[in-house]
Structure 1
Amino acid sequence: MDNLVLVVAAIGVLGVGAQWIAWRFNLPAIVVMAVAGILAGPVLGILRPPPGVGEGLPPMQALLGEFYQPIIAIAVAVILFEGGLSLNFAELRGLTKGVRRLVFPGAAIAWGLGSLAAHYIAGLSWPTAILFAGVMVVTGPTVIIPLLRQARLKPRPATLLKWEGIINDPIGALLAVLVYEVIVFSAGGDDSHGASPGQIFASLLIASVLACALGFMLGRFAATVFQRGWAPEYLKPPILLVLVLVCFEIANLLQEEAGLLAVTAMGVTMANSRIASINELRLFKENIAVLLVAGVFVILTANLTVDMLTGFDLRAFAFLGAMLFVVRPLTVFLSTIGAGLPWQERLLVGWIAPRGIVAVAVSSFFGASLAAAGYEDGARLIPLAFAMVFATVLLHGFTIGPLARALGLVSSERPGVLISGASPWSAGLAAKLKEMDVPVVVADASWRRLRPVRLAEVETYYGEILSEVTEHHLDLNRFGYLLALSGNEAHNALVCTDLAPEMGRAAIYQVNARGKDEEDRRALSFTLQGRTFLHSGATLDELLRRHYAGWIYQRTRLTEEYPPEKYFEDLGDEYEIVLIQRKGALLFASQERPVKPEIGDLVLAYLPKPAETAPKRAGADEKAESVRAERPQEAARPAAASLAPDPAAGGG
């Protein structure tokens, strides 16, 4: 393949296609991308230069020519900037003692033990071993978080693993940058000959200070421009990307590879500058990073050769074993002494440490740079990094669930319901869900609106659910369903849009904020909203009217003696379907997907208060219970009605 445009297109198709396959079949994206690159490179030979081109060079370097190094460098710079952009110092103050121990001194212990293993077991030279161990401190938040969702751990071990990955992500890369700077100064060109260790250290310190100062100044400049409205919203992401590239290149002109340190400092500066549009900027950065990572990962794996793949000796396998079974467990054990963690949690955290894209990208970049600087073993970092990623992602991915269950660290709670928006009506619904042993939390930014929920003794979250701080204080992994029930249509849509990627569109519902008489042009786009809650699509105003009119919640168990057909007959003319509980799963009613009860279901309805003289149903497996919506804390009363979907809406 000798057409450069065709090469770039093929890399894009392989990278993005691999990520789509990973999403479609719920596979680790990093593994699928690596397999795609290996197949296209050393196995099938698709991404290979024509015969006689670039002899003696790595295959992808020969194929891409002078574009190879800039592509890798820019991708690593963007990845490091994104890592710095996630490091908010205000979040560190609220961390638990266990998380702080895993970061300080955990990162230092892992770095030291990893350096010993890389030198004495893998056989790397001391400079290369110390640099590689710094990169291996990173535990990959992009890999950890999907594993946590899969395993459904209890809150504390999940918090330990999540925050360790988030914080150590930039720390590990920063350690590698600092070590590389020391190596460059120690082995550098003619100017460094005869320099004493003190002079080398002073030069390194000056270069590092200048790089950090440049990153800080450009970060503050960008923050000031965005805070004062000197740039329109649509120009903020491209301005930020350009500034990252400018920061990277200017710092590199001051000192080779100092740009990596500068962009990390720029990201940290912006993360702590209270920029109102920081979420949008992070989203844009994540999109850019996804494209760059997809391309770079395919390039790096395709750059492997058959000799590299088959030349993995016993020392390399022994190194992997030492990192998995000695370095990581010992790091966690030593760093968490006195942290008050039970041995089960320390054992689980000591085993789970998957490496991700950052580890591979940074290792590959520095490995190639070390090899070019005369450190022959620098080329070994690339296959070692890939081996660590494959080993940890596969082993930890398949074992986190069984190990957590064996240690009793799996949450026994069923997937709960998160209700956004407190009102007397949603308080009654929350109380009924709690009565049905469904975990439920009502979130609202108004303490006054939360009053009926507190009176119902339902768990509340006082704060803005769209705030970044929310995910640190409210474990979203507990919830399998979202009900956006506030009176603000735009806020409901924002909540649905924000949480849809994590919880899935199929599990997100919002109350209809407009009546059917409203013109469509006044409504928000359906792409921004969740499913319309309830079959009728009743507005919150209508639900509150029913609440004050005395409507009640009722639940009924359907059996062969009391089938759905009989249940429909008893419902009366007015009723509202709320949900069906079927084998532990909750099926909420919606306009888009009506629910149809079956025998064995526990169904919940919202209907007018029945007459006191209404006859009781015959054959009900479970006596219908009701509770006044305005007093959800009262005990349930017997009632004659139950829940079923609207026959006119059709089954679903």
Structure 2
Amino acid sequence: MHQEMIGLTIAGLGVLGLGCQWLAWRMKLPAILLLLIAGLVIGPVAGIFNPNILFGDLLFPLISLAVAVILFEGSLTLNFAEIKNVRKNVKSIVTIGAIITWIITSVATHYLLDFSWSLAFLFGSMTVVTGPTVIVPLLRTVRPQAKLANILRWEGILIDPIGAIFVVIVYEFIVSSSKMHSLAVFGLMLLVGLVIGAIAGWLIAYVLRNHLLPEYLQPFAVLAVVLGVFAGANALESEAGLLAVTVMGMWLANAKDVDIRHILHFKENLTILLISGLFLILASRIELADFHALGWGAITLFVVIQLVARPASIFISTMFSQLAFKEKLFLAWVAPRGIVAAAISALFALKLMDDGVAGAQLLVPLTFMVIIGTVVLQSLTARPIARLLGVAEPSPKGFLVVGANDVAREIGLALKKYDCRVVVSDSNWDYIRAARMAGLETYYGNAVSSHADEYLDLIGVGHLLALTPDKHFNAVAASHYETDFGQRNIYRLNGRRHNSGLEKHSATQAHSSAVLFGDDISYKKLASLMNQGAEIKHTKLSDSFTLDDYYQQYNSGLVIPLFTVDLKENIHPFTVISKIDVKAGWTIIALVKDAD
């Protein structure tokens, strides 16, 4: 292949990956579903892309390194302090439930597809993981009750790195057995992975804790160490690298007094790039004949995974929990497979094929069939099933407040009084700490980041208030969440006066409808008034105390209406063009400054 064509092909993969990611965001679908479909189209269907020809001998090392980075990223989210606070049934699902799923899937794979026991057990271990990248988009669409959403969300976060370790251990045991090695060799693999990973994690934590690297070098340094640890562990003992990088990530996630924000932000962009490229490459390598070779046994296996393995794991692992039968039924239906399953299957399929293991080439198409089947089936049916079982949330009343500054915190506390969920988000730690001390639920990070897309829990939240001092960022946040909440539920501070009368200086009707409180009400003005003693007050109207009486009461001072609360405690923000028919019994929330 000519060098120009190689460059054009790699650039085309980037553009195609971006298109799939964007379309998935617009359609509220897991991105890997569209990436896998696109890979099948450009590979076996159209025949315009062949990774084996493009990358040659570099294909296996590139896939191995990409999987190592993805597993390291997943393990960075596994904080032991958070595991302690997770509900008891989540712990049971990711331990007892995962083992039950593994056993049932493995047995079914052996008998239905005539896989060897070792290959069947390996496939079973690959399909126990779900992951936040497939669960979170599904939950935003389905909107189950908060309790169920939290169980599924935490299962996805915890099972990713735990499942990866499980796959590596099963594979290493298979390899050591196939080569007639003793259990001592298998133990050596585990020892190398654990020791190398722990040492690397301690070393990076020490460097970060003592500020021995400038901030801008930290993400690059950690990435270089991850790749070095992976390659070094594999050099010392074959297949110990994945376990080593996973242990390294877990160590960093739980290290005290270590700030890994820059690493997390860097890995967001890197992981998106790796996932997009990896799955386009993996899907394009599949031969359509492999799907045909699987036959009806694969369809039957999918039915067993969906209707036998998952329900059995849920009902047995939650046997002594307080969950109702309908809640267990919903959990038993929702378990889409994700990134780790696809990446691990491709990686180990290549290894086993090199070792001459019969049937190893069928691991990838079988895993992809499970991923596509679970994502498509559950995306289409989870919401109707949640409604049928009565476990779907009603229309979400809560608010995501972008900004945790003084103004945003006061407004968040005012809204919280009306039995609705309020989440404040900010990248300023001092603001977040003050919000937590005030009793507000927080998300520490950029609300429009890919990390927020995966980990920001929006169950029960249906409105956005963008209240930062930066009106341009407010507009970006409003645009970002428009598909989640709908344009009518997006509100932002603007504070721009339109004095020129020129069209280029005026906002469109669509954007004007979202401007909060008044066209000349900016963050600066609200903060200044609060510093001068203005307070947010709640006043209930009645037949004898109307809205006109309310304004007359503060005639000598300053009053800026912020929200009104109806009889059902639905909150309606005042906007530039809002025409709210305030009735008796409603409550006015306003920023009031009494006359001096």
Q: TM-score range by the shorter chain?
A: 0.7 to 0.9
Cα pair distance change 1:232/1:501, threshold 3 Å: farther
Question: What are the residue-to-residue correspondences of 1:147-166 with 2, within 5 Å?
Answer: 147-166=138-157
Deviations 1:214-245 (A, max 9, x none): 01101111111111000011000000000001
Kindly state the Cα deviation for residue 93 of structure 1 after the two structures are TM-superposed. 0.7
- Check whether the contact 1:580–1:595 (CA below 8 A) recurs between aligned residues: no
Deviation at 1:61, TM superposition (A): 1.8
Aligned match of 2:444: 466
Residue 576, structure 1, aligned to residue 556, structure 2: no
User: Deviation string for 1:229-281 (max 9, x for gaps)?
Assistant: 00011000000000001000011111222111111111111111135431221
Say whether the 8 Å CA contact 1:182–1:204 is kept in structure 2.
yes
Distance in structure 1 (CA, Å) of the matches to 2:163 and 2:411: 49
Q: Which residue in the other structure is 1:83 paired with?
A: 74
Q: Residue 20 of structure 1 corresponds to which residue in structure 2?
A: 22
Greater length-normalized contact order (CA 8 Å, ≥ 6 residues apart) = 2
Match of residue 117 from structure 1: 108
| Equivalent residue, structure 1, for 2:260 | 278
What does residue 98 of structure 1 align with?
89
Equivalent residues of 2:132, 2:157 under 8 A apart: yes
Structure 2 residue aligned with 1:225:
207
Separation in 2, partners of 1:16, 1:29? 10
Match of 2:217 in 1: 235
> How far apart are 1:25 and its partner, in Å?
3.4
Distance in structure 1 (CA, Å) of the matches to 2:98 and 2:87? 16
**C-alpha spacing 1:309/1:6, structure 2 compared with 1 (3 Å):** farther
Which secondary structure state, in structure 2, belongs to the residue aligned with residue 576 of structure 1? strand
Look up the match of 1:311. Answer: 293
Question: Aligned in 2, Cα 1:579/1:391: closer, same or farther, shift over 3 Å?
Answer: same
Q: 1:544 to 1:416 in 2, by over 3 A?
A: farther
What's the CA shift for 1:128?
0.8
Q: Once the two structures are superposed, what CA deviation does each residue of 1:604-636 show, in whole Å capped at 9, x if it has no partner?
A: xxxxxxxxxxxxxxxxx64776579789xxxxx
1:303 Cα shift? Answer: 0.7
Q: Which amino acid aligns with 1:293?
A: I
- In structure 2, distance between residues paired with 1:9 and 1:300: 17
In the TM superposition, what is the alpha-carbon distance from 1:11 to its structure 2 partner?
Answer: 2.1
Query: How many residues are matched?
Result: 547
Distance 2:158 2:223 in 1: 23
**1:18/1:287 Cα in 2 relative to 1: closer, same or farther (>3 Å)?**
same
* Mapping of residues 533-548 of structure 1, within 5 Å: 534-535=518-519, 536-537=521-522, 538-543=525-530, 545=532, 547=534
User: 1:184 maps to which residue?
Assistant: 175
Q: Secondary structure at 2:154's aligned position in 1?
A: helix
Q: Shift of residue 480 of structure 1?
A: 3.0
Q: Which residue of 2 aligns with 1:611?
A: none
Which residue type is aligned with residue 207 of structure 1?
A: M
Q: Which amino acid aligns with 1:334?
A: I
Q: In the alignment, is the contact (CA less than 8 A) between 1:581 and 1:602 conserved in 2?
A: no
CA contact (8 A) 2:404 2:435 kept: no
1:330-409 correspondence to structure 2 within 5 Å: 330-409=312-391
Where do 5+ consecutive residues of structure 1 fail to align?
49-59, 451-459, 513-529, 604-620, 632-652
How far apart, in 2, do the equivalents of 1:39 and 1:165 lie?
A: 29
Aligned residue among 311, 334, 345 for 1:329 = 311
1:41 to 21, 40, 43: 43
> How far does the alpha carbon of each residue in 1:578-628 deviate from its partner, in whole angstroms, 9 at most, with x for none?
257899986645xxxx53134xx346xxxxxxxxxxxxxxxxx64776579
| Residue type at the aligned position of 2:57 | E
After superposition, the Cα gap between the structure-2 partners of 1:383 and 1:206, relative to the gap in structure 1 and judged at 3 Å, is: same
- Where 2:462 maps in the other structure, the secondary structure is strand
Are residues 1:301 and 2:278 paired?
A: no
Distance 1:423 1:308, change over 3 A: closer
Match of 1:251 in 2: 233
Pairing 1:167–2:163 present: no
Gap change, CA 1:78 and 1:429, over 3 Å in 2: closer
Paired residues for 1:457-606 under 5 Å: 460-461=439-440, 466=444, 476-483=458-465, 507=490, 509=492, 534-535=518-519, 536-537=521-522, 538-543=525-530, 545=532, 547=534, 576-579=560-563, 588=573, 595-598=576-579, 601-602=580-581
Unaligned runs of 5+ in 2: 426-431, 447-451, 496-513
TM-score of the aligned structures, taking structure 1 as reference length: 0.74
For the residues of structure 2 that align with 1:164 and 1:383, how far apart are their CA atoms?
Answer: 25
* Residue of structure 2 in register with 1:143 after alignment: 134
Contact kept in structure 2, 1:161 and 1:349, CA below 8 Å: yes
SS at match of 1:353: coil
Deviation track 1:142-198 (CA, whole Å, cap 9, x = no partner) reads 11011111122112111111111111111221111112112222223xxx5xx5xxx
Q: Which AA in structure 2 matches 1:44?
A: A
Secondary structure of the residue aligned to 1:121 is: helix
Shift of 1:464: 6.3
CA displacement at 1:509 relative to structure 2: 4.4
Quick check: 2:464–2:478 contact (8 Å CA) kept in 1? no
Q: Which secondary structure does the structure 1 equivalent of 2:299 belong to? A: helix
3-state DSSP class of the match of 1:578?
Answer: strand
Q: Is the CA contact 2:76–2:250 (under 8 Å) kept in the aligned structure 1?
A: yes
Query: Higher mean Cα deviation, 353-362 or 622-631?
Result: 622-631
Contact 1:77 1:263 in 2 (8 A): yes
| Aligned partner of residue 128 in structure 1, secondary structure | helix
Distance in 2, Cα, partners of 1:296 & 1:100: 31
Change in Cα spacing, 1:221 to 1:430, as seen in structure 2 (3 Å) is closer
Aligned to 1:375, what secondary structure does the other structure show? coil
Q: 1:136 to 1:105 in 2, by over 3 A?
A: same
Change (3 A) 1:10 1:584: farther
Among all aligned residue pairs of Structure 1 and Structure 2, give the percentage whose two residues are the same amino acid.
35
User: Quick one: structure 1 residues 466 and 46, their matched pair in 2 at CA, closer, same or farther if it must change by over 3 Å?
Assistant: same
Kindly provide the amino acid, as one letter, of the partner of residue 246 in structure 1: G
User: How far did residue 204 of structure 1 move?
Assistant: 0.9
Tell me by how many angstroms 1:116 deviates.
Answer: 0.9
* 1:204 is the counterpart of 2:186: yes
Contact 2:314 2:328 in 1 (8 A): yes
Rounded to whole Å, the distance in 2 between the matches of 1:164 and 1:150 is 18
Residue 515 of structure 1 corresponds to: none
Higher alpha-carbon deviation: 31-40 or 537-546: 537-546
What is residue 635 of structure 1 aligned with on the other side? none
Separation (CA, whole Å) in 2 of partners of 1:499 and 1:226 = 36
In the alignment, which residue of structure 1 is the partner of 2:272?
A: 290
CA gap of 1:507–1:474, structure 2 versus 1, over 3 A, is same
Counterpart residue type for residue 242 of structure 1: A
Change in 2 beyond 3 A, CA 1:499/1:243 = farther
Offset, 1:130: 0.7
SS in 2 for 1:339: coil
What is the one-letter code of the residue matched to 2:56? G
Q: Deviation per CA, 1:101-160, whole angstroms, max 9, x where unpaired? A: 112211211111121111112321111111111111101221101111112211211111
- RMSD over aligned Cα atoms: 4.2
Conservation of the 8 A alpha-carbon contact between 1:123 and 1:315: no
